Chain A
């Protein structure tokens, strides 16, 4: 089955700096890669996703890059703000199948004011 590894487990940045979270996956057939943001005690919220037919996707201050050959994908947050502080999870799956998402272990991002 799919295995997703996520690094780092914790990340502290100064407000205004950029943050990068990296994930690797094992199943070369995986083709859908979402990122979720979870605040303490709240539900995970989908913040951005990417499919394997593109290498990069951007939405305002958030971007995701995908390297299919190396089987890794990354989340980039620019101009970080204190409200970006949360746990971020990457995930992978085969689109179109009933298979559930396989989640990474999570990254606790802290943006210091």
Chain B
């Protein structure tokens, strides 16, 4: 299946700093990537849909100036948490839709990033 690589896997930062998370599709081109946030023992909450070459679409309640998304190429999307605060601590995970008739509705997930803001 398609492979999605996400880095870093774990980040610990001070309050007020910005953190960038990268999501790469390794063996396929992903015109659309999705960014989720997951709190402990809860479901995946969609934050935004990242489209290559255009602005991301944010879900209601998600601050686009707080969570900057860039999808500059068909294989890379980044999420930057700006001026992070303790309440931003969470597990962030990206996903990409597969290509081809057999997999184009399947989502392939990155390995996730555990962000801890002190």
Contacts and interface: CB of A to CB of B under 8 A. Distances in A.
A89 B44 contact: yes
Nearest to A98: B32
A32 B42 contact: no
B34 A100 contact: yes
A100 B111 CA distance: 19
A44 B109 contact: yes
A34 B106 contact: yes
Contacts of A44: 44, 93, 109
A106 to B, nearest CB: 5
A93 interface: yes
A54 B73 CA distance: 37
Nearest to B41: A108
Main secondary structure of the interface of A (DSSP, over half): loop
A82 to B, nearest CB: 20
Contact of B107 (A46, A87, A104): A46
A112 B68 CA distance: 43
Interface in B59-106: 91, 93, 104-106
B43 A101 contact: no
A87 B40 CA distance: 11
B110 A46 contact: no
Nearest to A101: B107
Interface of B: 1, 6, 32, 34, 41-44, 46, 49, 91, 93, 104-112, 114
Rank and list the top 7 A-B pairs by shortest CB-CB distance, nearest first. A43-B109, A95-B105, A105-B43, A32-B105, A43-B111, A106-B43, A103-B44
12 contacts: A41-B114, A43-B93, A44-B44, A45-B109, A46-B107, A49-B106, A95-B105, A96-B104, A104-B43, A105-B43, A106-B43, A108-B41
